Structure 1
Amino acid sequence: MIRGLHLSKRIISALSLFALAVAFLFSSSLHKAEASVSWGQEVTEVGKLYLGNPYKWGGTSQKGFDASGYTQYIFKTSAAKMTLPPSSKEQYKLGKAVKQKDLKEGDLVFFNIDGKGVSFVGIYLNSNQFLAVTVNKGVSIQSLSSKYWKDRYIGAKRVLKEY
């Protein structure tokens, strides 16, 4: 009986140590995952949820967005909880200017599409791509490398907290 009790104490001790080790491993990996997500990643992941949503002039909701209505909606509903002004021209006045080669996820990219200065905004993803709302495609992924956007690019701003 004593031998069986001694053996079961060893088993219980070993199982307890194993359970503690597993709990430690999983809890530390969860913290690493949380720490690796940036504000920019958060904003772009929320932005991607609306790929394919339609264009609507003056639209600021899931029923339809225009360019600045989309950026307003995404920044407000993401964990960033930022309120952006209603027009791309006003949004361009925010944040810190960023060179195109230094763009990070979540930066706002601005364009002149009407010949009158800042008139369009999108959200930078990575690899020269950005999220934007166009009349033809609604919310879609666009390329800064395309001739259309390259010719109309004005600049970029970082409005999110540094990470």
Structure 2
Amino acid sequence: MSHRLTTTAIRTAVVASALAATAGLSVLPAVASAPAAPAAPVVAAPVVPAAHTVPTAPAAPAAAARSSALQNALGKIGAPYRWGASGPSAFDCSGLVKWAFEQEGISLPRTSRAMASAGTPVSKSALAPGDIVTFYRPVSHVGIYVGNGQVVHASTSGSPVKTSSMDAMPFNSARRV
């Protein structure tokens, strides 16, 4: 029992010494009689209450990823349409969009209807290249906005990945990821 007590006492003393040293204190008896130098004042950094902080989104990296995803999709122009395919050699509409964004590390749902809820909503007038655009009611088609009223998409069986005017399909919604 005394060995156990001694081991516990030693561990406690070692931990106390380490904590005291970290705090600038000593647990050893004073050897010199000279007074200790006064401690430097500690100045804390100002604290801003959480209610006054404004979180910022990493807009530049996200915009670059959308631009790259768009380029990925444009690089697949001419690839065949195949229902249920998600690349890299054939695509359906949601497979193309999912694949293009996955190349940039952005995970999207697999279906066009689910993609209509991904990211944040964007009005048609605020579309930017790389935004996801959905068509028909209920949503049954998806593509990536190119700019100038154009969308890149895998449209239908027998038609390869291509760009089309957004006016060729009934616009439903747009999302930004």
TM normalised by structure 1 equals: 0.66
Distance 2:68 2:83 in 1: 26
Q: Secondary structure at the match of 1:145?
A: helix
Q: CA RMSD in A?
A: 1.9
The match for 1:86 is 110
> How many aligned residue pairs are there?
116
**Amino-acid identity (%):** 28
The structure that is strand-richer by fraction is 1
Q: Secondary structure at the match of 1:60?
A: coil
Q: Secondary structure at the match of 1:93?
A: coil
For structure 1, the residue ranges without an aligned partner over 5 or more in a row are 1-34
Distance 2:86 2:64 in 1: 25
Residue-by-residue CA offset, 1:84-134 (whole Å, 9 max, x unaligned)? 11101111111111111100111000011xx5x011100001000011001
Distance 2:99 2:105 in 1: 10
Whether 1:133 and 2:154 are equivalent positions in the alignment is yes
The structure that is helix-richer by fraction is 1
Distance 1:90 1:75 in 2: 15
Q: Conserved in 2, the CA contact under 8 Å of 1:108 and 1:121? A: yes
Distance 1:83 1:76 in 2: 6
Distance 1:75 1:107 in 2: 11
TM normalised by structure 2 equals: 0.61
Whether 1:118 and 2:118 are equivalent positions in the alignment is no
The match for 2:121 is 97
The match for 2:38 is none
Aligned AA (1:59): A
The match for 2:165 is 143
**Residue in structure 2 matching 1:57, options 72, 76, 83:** 83
Aligned AA (1:155): S
- Report which of the two structures shows the higher radius of gyration computed on alpha carbons: 2
After the TM superposition, which parts of structure 1 deviate over 4 Å for at least 4 consecutive aligned residues? none
For structure 2, the residue ranges without an aligned partner over 5 or more in a row are 1-60
Q: Secondary structure at the match of 2:175?
A: strand
Q: Conserved in 1, the CA contact under 8 Å of 2:82 and 2:90? A: yes
Q: Secondary structure at the match of 1:156?
A: strand
Whether 1:39 and 2:57 are equivalent positions in the alignment is no
Instruction: Compare relative contact order (CA 8 Å, sep 6+) and give the higher one, 1 or 2.
Output: 1
